[in-house]
Amino acid sequence: MGKSVAIIGTGQTRHGRRQDVCYPDLVKEAVEAALEDAGITLKDVDGVVLGTMPSMMEGVSSTHFYFAEAMGSVGKPVLKVETCGSTGQSIGHCGFFWASSGMADIVLVVGSEKMSEGDGQATMNTVFDPFFQRTFAAGAPGVFTMQSMEWMYRFKIPEDKGREAAAMISVSNHDNAMDNPHAHIRTRVTMDDVKNARIITYPVRLLDVCPASDGACAVIFASGDKAKKICKKPAWVKGIGFRGEEFFYGESDKAIWMSATEAAKEAYSQAGIKDPLKELDVAEVYNPFTYQEMIFYECFGFCPRGKAPDYVLKGTFKKGGRLPCGPSGGTLCTNPIGATGLIRMAEAALQVTGKAGARQVEGAKLALSHAMGGVDQFNGVTILGSEQ
């Protein structure tokens, strides 16, 4: 780790179908909220980082030009970082690097997406190479479902058990989203609703899948010294990890998933975490798909390999459980993709600073946030804590 860095403010839009605002205004909504939360103005910001999904999502390229005013980057150094779904974690890491290097005191990091303006699955398909994989991909659901099937085969998880646990994950995320005023989908669902929803990519059904959302998130990073001066209760960056793997989907073992496993390991080693289930108070796992969320639990060491369904069915990761996951309702209920990984980080910051409102996990001091991107290719993890 470099010099210590903390998050001193976060801001989120009301996520959902936001046809009431144009894209730059959506970005401004999050930036304004973050500045207000940190109690600073744009004048205090030394540099700006933006991240989104590929430009085809909204049909406007290199949006760091488009959002110059909305994200307050006029007259300041600006960077754009893109790693598909893991973008939110990557830009957060970039904010950390910048402040940690000593080259900036305060860095504004912005992630955004306006998915109602384009075609999510068609855009996601352009992430695949055009020669070999694109026509067999079926967007994100195809890949993530094949991965989940591979995982269930590998660990001999009975179909019914996997189905039951995945349904429970959907129900608890939907319940949690009711406590989150920013969440896109705020409806309760039952186990039967999930199990009987229409098939998207078998065995994954509609309520196992995240929505396509419009939304933006802004997070303000400050060098340790600055944070101590201007912020009463900062969220300290305790550890970060990021790993990538091979491009060809069929080349690496997605049931074990090296990138997710190693990204967490790296972050844990920096944060001094040895037993994540015991030491973490809350986790914001990137969970666009219920079945896949269980693979993450195993990669992050929350439970042994192949045992996630048992832990889920025991209620380990529910509100009030041993390690509550996704108290915000998670990616499953809100997914403006370029913002999503940063929302996980912002939510983790809210938790360790006691500012999470109705979704607060009481007394949370140490939180994991995470995002995954590409064709199951990238994973990024950030650990935030209440103590420096």
Residues in contact with another protein by CB under 8 A are 19-20, 56, 59, 117, 119, 121-122, 125, 130-133, 135-139, 141-142, 145-147, 149-150, 153, 159, 198-202, 204, 246, 248-251
| CB proximity list for 147: less than 8 A, separation 6 or greater | 254, 255, 257, 292, 295, 376
> Least distance from C-beta 329 to another protein, angstroms?
23
Decide whether 97 or 155 has the Cβ nearer to another protein.
Answer: 155
Nearer to another protein, 23 or 236 (CB): 23
CB nearer another protein, residue 121 or residue 360: 121
The span from the CA of 154 to the CA of 118, in Å, is: 36
Query: Is the CB of residue 54 less than 8 Å from the CB of residue 348?
Result: no
Closest contact distance (angstroms) between CB of 196 and another protein is 13
Least distance between another protein and beta carbon 118 (Å): 9
| Complex with another protein: residue 70 or 348, whichever CB lies closer | 70
**Please, what is the minimum distance in Å from the beta carbon of residue 98 to another protein?**
30
Cβ–Cβ under 8 Å, residues 329 and 174 = yes
> The tokens 């070999």 sit on which residue?
132
Output the smallest distance, CB 237 to another protein, in A. 32
Please identify, using beta-carbon distances, which residue of 86 and 145 lies nearer to another protein: 145
What's the rounded Cα separation, in Å, for the pair 287 and 339?
A: 14
DSSP letter string, 290-317? HHHHHHHHHHTTSS-TT-HHHHHHHTTT
Which C-beta is closer to another protein: that of 202 or that of 278? Answer: 202
Residue 180 CB, nearest approach to another protein (Å): 21
- The DSSP string of 104-164 is -SEEEEEEEEEGGGS-HHHHHHTTS-TTTTGGG--HHHHHHHHHHHHHHHHTT--HHHHHH
